[in-house]
Structure formats: structure tokens, C-alpha cells
Amino acid sequence: MARVLELLFLNQEGKQVSITLDDPIEPADLEAILQVMNKVIEKNVYTSSGGDFVSIKGARITERAVEVIELPAH
């Protein structure tokens, strides 16, 4: 199963936006995550259709399972 770190922000419209990072270092370093998230907001690194990222909503590590479906060649 693939594990990802999701950094959750709110944009100028108050809608949630996220940045997803593959293969996070565990255990998660709260201070490092907060530093990066604050820097993303401070430097306007990303924007969304609802405007700039303006505040931190949270962070989470999630697991997802991927199952490849083999299709016959055409």
C-alpha cells in the first residue's frame, strides 16, 4: 500500500486545497511540517482556482491500495 502525506490548506475562498507528497518520512516531524506549510503560505508557492493558500487546515498520512486491472491489447 502506498502512503502519502497530505498537507491541507484553506484558500482565499475558504475552500480546502491540498498538496500530496509520496513516501513520507515516518514518524512525521510536526515542526518540519509546520515550517514547510508556513513557508508555502508566506512565499505564495502555490495558488488555486479559489486564490492563494491563506491558512493551514491540517496534515495527514493516508494509505491507498492500487490494483492494476490487466486489459487485453487491442
Nearest Cα residue to 1 out of 22, 29, 18: 22
| Per-residue pLDDT reduced to its tens digit, 13-31 | 999 999 999 999 999 999 9
E strand or H helix at 33:
helix 30-42
Quote the CA–CA distance of 30 and 46 in Å, as a whole number: 21
Q: Which three cell numbers stand for residue 2?
A: 502506498
- Amino acid residing at 51: G
| Per-residue pLDDT reduced to its tens digit, 33-69 | 999 999 999 999 999 999 999 999 999 999 988 889 9
Q: Which three cell numbers stand for residue 40?
A: 508555502
* Alpha helices in 1-74, H assignment, sequence order: 30-42
Domain range summary for the chain, segments of one domain joined by +: 1-25
